[in-house]
């Protein structure tokens, strides 16, 4: 969940680390800190709880000296959000500073043992245990070989501990990966190590993506070792086709709004899939006896929607499963099964856990991801990419739209109607701009009608998972109690909550669900609920109306409407839509 960055080069480290940390803040924003080697073999640290800019006002990160350093922005797991729990942490002898992303499961046991050996702790975090443990093992090592020490560390310490270790005695940064991403940036006379490519895109687009249990040693060059074998491994440099401009706000007040408006363009890129890879994916799905969609959060909603379109278009039963619930279904998995993993980041921890379980059962794994080189992509037998560019806002928008478009196109491909599917989907893409042009109208509606304590969304068929995604977004960034349900479920429970004036968003596409939806709307109006209709037809039953163009796949045009509603509700309520409380972009811990 946390963001980590390291720099070594000829420039001053502090300004580069500060700039990079601001780009990583979406991964965690409870606290922030930086450590540099000041040129006298001493480590200097500045850190504190709060957002980056606020902490910088107190600490002035840019005064840190030296051209080697590490930084961290935190999403709290162990220890309250307090200054003393902010990273980095140092060893007792002052030789090492460490930042960490992940969880050390047996830290309490290790901490007690280290205390008995004289180590002094200053925080409640699991992370601080790591730097003291490394110090202890190095003190006891005759060879003083950190590769061997880390090999031993993986046997002692349980959990996920991807970290950067700053070595002040030798002017080295060690970057170690265990169960969450680390990418090495290769610049001109400078090196970076980070949990996200976007943090150093302004400096280089050349990267080495570390595999699990690999250690990168950064000095005037980069060496990579497999710590399980102790052997140096060959480096594979990847060129990232994202740009620094894509990772900026480009004049928009928030990343989220920018990313919603980007859907007009990136949706075209989503449908421009490599034909060989795309047809290969269709071939794998067509031959599988069982297919399970696997996703979490927004990606799970894409899985639900895909399962409906695969049933309707391709007449195939593909079962969607929440990543965190996959264990419950593991007895259904065998060598004739395909697991289709969906993830924006490609690092979602519970989805990765499901993939690992599936592989032990002999299942084949395919995936749809946005981040090139991500763990899920690398663990897959085949993959497709969203082509959505970097998505910075915690609430996923353009990635969800891209997921849905590609999965729907696959459903058409599986039914041997690829040409027809492309025509329908490009029709949707062409009409997206019509939705964006209603942004101001949606903002007014959000302010005057939808800004209540309770909000309901109803849909049927393909519109139901889209309503669920709208509910997720509204809760995620507006902090409003929202509830999405299939229209037919109203009479089973939710009608008991409908009171006069309660707003209800009704998704009414011009398809075979329309008549049933009208019946559900009448039930709500009979109890005094206010209907906000999203449809290509203005029905008399609507109290308020948001128009979408008439297309074959109308539910897909409802996606950006709900995204804009959630965005404006967030802003109206004084929230920061890019950084919702208690949440982070990449869920890399279980």
Q: Which of 46, 178, 530, 585 is catalytic?
A: 585
Per-residue pLDDT of 148-189, as tens digits, reads: 888 888 888 888 788 999 999 999 999 999 877 889 999 999
Nearest alpha carbon to residue 367 among 390, 352, 384: 384
Q: Which of 2, 222, 303, 504 is catalytic?
A: 2
**Residues paired with 505 in a beta bridge:** 457, 532
Question: Exposed e or buried b for every residue in 9-22, given b needs 16+ CB within 10 A?
Answer: beebbbebbbbbbb
Residue 102 half-sphere exposure, CB side, CA atoms within 13 Å?
A: 26
Per-residue pLDDT of 379-415, as tens digits, reads: 999 999 998 888 888 899 999 999 999 999 999 999 9
CA distance 15 to 334: 52
Going 200 to 191 to 178 to 94, the CA torsion angle's sign is negative
Does domain 439-577 sit in CATH 3.40.50.10490? yes
2 has catalytic annotation: yes
Q: Is 493 helix (H, G, I), strand (E, B) or coil?
A: coil
Say whether 249-437 and 3-246 share the same fold: no
* Dihedral-angle region of residue 568 (phi above 0 means left; psi in -120 to 50 means alpha; beta otherwise): alpha
| pTM metric for this prediction | 0.75
The pLDDT assigned to 214 comes to 92
For residue 336, pLDDT over 80 is answered with yes
Q: Are 190 and 175 in contact (CB under 8 A)?
A: no
Per-residue pLDDT of 38-75, as tens digits, reads: 978 899 999 998 888 888 999 999 999 999 999 998 76
Q: Cβ-count burial of 269 within 10 angstroms (0-12 exposed, 13-18 middle, 19+ buried)?
A: middle
Q: Are 365 and 341 in contact (CB under 8 A)?
A: yes
**Mean pLDDT computed over every residue of the chain:** 91
> Which distant-in-sequence residues (6+ apart) come within 8 Å of 56 by Cβ?
18, 62
CA distance 138 to 260: 50
Show me where the domains of the chain are located: 3-246, 249-437, 439-577
Per-residue pLDDT of 513-556, as tens digits, reads: 999 999 999 999 989 999 999 999 999 999 999 999 999 999 99
585 has catalytic annotation: yes
CATH classification code of 249-437? 3.40.50.10490
For residue 1, pLDDT over 80 is answered with no
For residue 22, pLDDT over 90 is answered with no
Q: Can you point out the beta strands (E) in 63-138?
A: 68-74, 89-90, 96-104
Q: Are 68 and 36 in contact (CB under 8 A)?
A: yes
**Residues paired with 49 in a beta bridge:** 31
> Which distant-in-sequence residues (6+ apart) come within 8 Å of 240 by Cβ?
197, 201, 205, 206, 207, 372
Distance set, CA 51 to CA 21, 178, 477 (Å) = 10, 27, 17
Beta carbons within 10 angstroms of residue 80's beta carbon: 12
CATH class, range 3-246: alpha beta
The pLDDT assigned to 440 comes to 93
Q: Is 340 helix (H, G, I), strand (E, B) or coil?
A: strand
Question: Which H or E element spans position 344?
Answer: none
- Helices and strands, number each (H, E), in the chain: 17, 25
């Amino acid at each position: 969940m946390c963001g980590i960055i390291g720099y070594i080069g000829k420039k001053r480290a502090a300004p580069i680390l500060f700039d990079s940390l601001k780009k990583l803040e979406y991964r965690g924003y409870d606290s922030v800190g930086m450590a540099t080697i000041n040129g006298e073999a001493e480590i200097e640290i500045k850190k504190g709880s709060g957002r980056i800019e606020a902490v910088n006002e107190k600490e002035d990160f840019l005064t840190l000296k030296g051209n080697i350093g590490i930084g961290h922005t935190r999403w709290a797991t162990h220890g309250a959000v307090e200054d003393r729990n902010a990273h980095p942490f140092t060893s007792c002898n002052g030789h090492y500073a460490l930042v960490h992303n992940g969880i050390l499961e047996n830290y309490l046991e290790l901490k007690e043992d280290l205390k008995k050996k004289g180590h002094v702790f200053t925080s409640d975090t699991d992370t601080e245990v790591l730097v003291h443990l490394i110090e202890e093992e190095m003190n006891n090592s005759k060879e003083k070989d950190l590769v061997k020490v880390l090999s031993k560390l993986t046997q002692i310490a349980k959990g996920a501990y991807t970290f950067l270790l700053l070595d002040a005695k030798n002017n080295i940064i060690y970057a170690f990966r265990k169960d969450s991403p680390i990418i090495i940036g290769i610049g001109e006379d400078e090196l970076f190590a980070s949990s996200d490519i976007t943090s150093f895109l302004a400096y280089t687009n050349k990267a080495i993506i570390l595999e699990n249990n690999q250690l990168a040693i950064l000095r005037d060059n980069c060496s990579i070792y497999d710590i399980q074998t102790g052997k140096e491994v060959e480096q594979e440099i990847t060129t990232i086709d994202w740009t620094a401009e894509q990772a900026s706000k480009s004049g928009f007040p928030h990343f989220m709004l920018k990313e919603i408006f980007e859907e007009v363009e990136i949706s075209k890129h989503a449908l421009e899939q490599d034909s060989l890879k795309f047809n290969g994916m269709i071939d794998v799905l067509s031959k599988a006896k069982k297919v399970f969609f696997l996703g979490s959060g927004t990606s799970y909603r894409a899985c639900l929607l895909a399962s409906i379109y695969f049933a309707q278009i391709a007449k195939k039963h593909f079962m969607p499963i929440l990543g965190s619930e996959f264990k419950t279904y593991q007895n259904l998995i065998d060598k004739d099964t395909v697991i289709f993993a969906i993830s924006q980041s490609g690092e979602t921890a519970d989805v990765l856990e499901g993939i690992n379980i599936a592989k032990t059962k002999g299942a084949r794994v395919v995936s749809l991801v946005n981040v090139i080189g991500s763990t899920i992509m690398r663990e897959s037998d085949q993959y497709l990419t969203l082509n959505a560019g970097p998505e910075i806002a915690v609430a996923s928008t353009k990635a969800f739209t891209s997921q849905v478009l590609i999965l729907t196109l696959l459903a058409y491909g599986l039914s041997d109607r690829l040409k027809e599917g492309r025509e329908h989907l490009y029709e949707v893409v062409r009409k997206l701009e019509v939705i964006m042009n209603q942004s101001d109208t949606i903002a007014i509606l959000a302010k005057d009608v939808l800004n209540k304590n309770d909000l309901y969304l109803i849909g049927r068929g393909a519109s139901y998972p889209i309503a669920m995604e709208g509910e997720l977004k509204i809760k995620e960034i507006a902090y409003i109690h929202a509830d999405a349900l299939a229209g037919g479920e109203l009479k089973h429970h939710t009608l008991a909550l409908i009171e006069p004036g309660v707003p209800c968003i009704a998704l009414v596409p011009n398809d075979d669900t329309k008549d049933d939806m009208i019946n559900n709307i009448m039930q709500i109006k009979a109890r005094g609920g206010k209907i906000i209709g999203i449809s290509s037809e203005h029905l008399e039953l609507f109290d308020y109306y948001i128009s979408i163009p008439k297309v074959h796949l109308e539910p897909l045009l409802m996606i950006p409407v709900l995204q804009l509603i959630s965005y404006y509700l967030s802003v109206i309520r004084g929230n920061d839509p890019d950084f919702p409380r208690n949440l982070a972009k990449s869920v890399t811990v279980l």
